[in-house]
Structure 1
Amino acid sequence: MLEIKNLTKQFDGRTIINDLSMTVADDEILAIVGPSGAGKTTLLRCITGLEKPDSGRFYWNGQEFTPSDKKKSQSIIGAVFQDYQLFPNLTVLRNITLAPQLVKKMESAEVTEEALKLLKRLGLENKDQLYPYQLSGGQKQRVAIVRALAMNPKILCYDEPTSALDPALRQEVGQVITDLKQTGMTQIVVTHDMDFAENVADKIMRVEALS
């Protein structure tokens, strides 16, 4: 279970998140929705360690951790970014295996075997030697999910996972997210798409811009 207590974040003297506390249960899909400027992406960036909050504490199963401390949080939080952030000069397989080898010091054969299994699970068999420019938007999104899963996180976070996708691909990504729930993956989805949130989430948290 993820617990966040009394999280506050300011930018240039403006409070974006004010004393927020929340809990995400194991195996739960939480959707965070709200208008632009309400702080939902900032909240996700704090959870994933890309932003340091001004105050607040994070707990995983009762143990405090610091998301920005990558050595300690890498095995807890995984992230799938809005623009995928795939390396254009690397194959799909190398995009997936690079971090486990560099960060977790895993053996190449072990990482490759796991990556191919994950690609197959997400319907990307035989895509391992392609480059990102050869993939559709939906395929890039699934590769980004596989890359995050390869680090074996406890929680997977998504920033606007359907923003650049047509309706058919939104449904495809939604199915991937709900399928991952069956494997025991806890997930947090930031989205402006209320229909998508209602289709995939167990719980929806609405955030509003602070005046």
Structure 2
Amino acid sequence: MLEVKNLKKSFDGRPILDDISFNVKDGEILTIVGPSGAGKTTLLRCITGLESADSGDFLIDGQQFNPQDLESSEAVMGVVFQDFNLFPHLSVLENLTLAPTMVLKQDPKIAEERALDLLAQLGLKNKEHLYPYQLSGGQKQRVAIARALAMKPKILCYDEPTSALDPNLRDEVAKLILSLKEQGVTQLVVTHDMEFAKKIADNMLTVKALDQRN
């Protein structure tokens, strides 16, 4: 279980997150919703170590956890970015195997086998030799999810997973996230799309802009 306690974050003296606390149980989906500028993405970046929190505690299974400790965070948090962040000069297979072989020091053959298995699970069989420019938006997103899962994280985090997609793909993304839940994957989803959030969430955290918190 992930626990976040009393998280605070400011930029240039302007508070963005003030005393945020929540928890996510193993295998659950938590959606983080709220208006633009409320700090949803900042919250996600603090949890995943991409931003440093001013104060607050992070616990995994009751143990203190530092998201900015790269060695620890690689094993705990997987991130699917809003614009996917795939390496354009690498094939799908190379995108999936790069971090496991370089960071986890996996045997390249084992990393490739796991990558191919993940691609098959996510409906991308026989796409391993394609490059990102040859993929649709939905396919790029599934590759990004497979790349995050290749690191075997405890928690998979998404930043606005439907924003870069055609609206008719929203249900497909919801089905994918729910199918990962059935496999026991704990997921944390930042989204502005309330209907989408309700469709997938076990629990929902609403983050309000500080000037609205009265």
The separation in 1 between residues aligned to 2:72 and 2:117, in whole angstroms, is 26
Alignment of 1:43-122 (within 5 A): 43-122=43-122
Q: In the alignment, which residue of structure 1 is the partner of 2:14?
A: 14
In structure 2, how many angstroms separate the alpha carbons of the residues matched to 1:94 and 1:9? 36
Tell me the matched-pair count.
Answer: 211
Secondary structure of the structure 1 residue equivalent to 2:68: coil
CA RMSD, aligned part only? 0.6
Residue 162, structure 1, aligned to residue 151, structure 2: no
Whole-Å separation in 2 of the counterparts to 1:62 and 1:9? 23
Aligned counterparts, 1:198-209, within 5 A: 198-209=198-209
**Deviations, residues 53-75 of structure 1 (Å, cap 9, x unaligned):** 00011000011110111111211
Q: Which residue of the partner structure matches residue 183 of structure 2?
A: 183
TM-score relative to the length of structure 1: 0.99
Q: Structure 2: which amino acid aligns with 1:73?
A: S
What is the Cα deviation at residue 204 of structure 1? 1.1
Secondary structure of 1:75 counterpart? helix
Shift of 1:172: 1.1
1:170 CA drift (Å): 1.3
Q: What is the aligned partner in structure 1 of residue 34 from structure 2?
A: 34
Moved more, 149-158 or 18-27: 18-27
Write the deviation string for residues 164-190 of structure 1: whole angstroms up to 9, x where unpaired.
112321111111100000111110000
- State the TM-score, normalizing by the size of structure 2: 0.97
Following the alignment from structure 2 to structure 1, what is the Cα–Cα distance between the partners of residues 38 and 193?
14
1:132-147 aligned within 5 A? 132-147=132-147
- Map of 1:197 onto structure 2: 197
Aligned residues with identical type, % of pairs = 64
Give 2:88's aligned amino acid: P
Aligned counterpart, 1:124: 124
In structure 2, C-alpha distance between the alignment counterparts of 1:21 and 1:173, rounded to whole Å: 27
Runs of 4+ in 1 over 6 A off after TM superposition: none
Gaps of 5+ in 1: none
